[in-house]
């Protein structure tokens, strides 16, 4: 398969966005135990360890991780199946918007994903001659 028939800019931006989202999610997973171990006050530790804030933080991190994986998969599929660029563009756009709830890859990742998804939606494949 030739590399010239896919939306390069949309693919590149979406791939960078997915990588930033993944790094952000992995960093949040790494600091999650520290929130329970190193409390500011003992009462705060009890609330974070056993209460809904710790569960909510875990759900946010999971949402960010799932969004990152979906943006990465959609970006790779955009390169391998450029004829379906509308589908992959919509998926990149939706999961980039969802990643704002999971901190959005330092927010830059979410913005790059939105731009990449919009570019994938605007991509018009040239007919083969």
Q: How many CB atoms lie within 10 A of CB 12?
A: 15
Identify the pLDDT of residue 127.
73
pTM, full prediction:
0.86
Identify the pLDDT of residue 92.
98
Residues of the chain with pLDDT under 70: 1-4, 35-54, 129
CA end-to-end span of the chain: 16
Question: Rounded to whole angstroms, how far apart are CA atoms 87 and 108?
Answer: 23
Identify the pLDDT of residue 55.
75
Q: Is 103 left (phi over 0), alpha (psi -120 to 50) or beta?
A: left
Identify the pLDDT of residue 25.
94
């Amino acid at each position: 398969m030739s590399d010239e028939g896919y939306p390069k800019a949309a693919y590149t931006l979406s791939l960078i966005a997915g990588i930033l989202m993944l790094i952000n999610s992995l960093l949040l997973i790494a600091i999650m135990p520290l929130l329970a171990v190193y409390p500011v006050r003992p009462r705060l530790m009890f609330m974070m360890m056993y209460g809904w804030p710790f569960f909510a933080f875990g759900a946010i991190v999971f949402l960010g991780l799932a969004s990152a994986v979906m943006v990465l998969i959609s970006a790779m599929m955009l390169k391998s199946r450029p004829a379906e660029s509308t589908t992959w563009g919509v998926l990149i756009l939706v999961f980039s918007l969802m990643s704002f709830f999971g901190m959005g890859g330092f927010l830059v990742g979410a913005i790059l994903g939105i731009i990449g998804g919009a570019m994938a939606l605007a991509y018009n494949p040239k007919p083969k001659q």
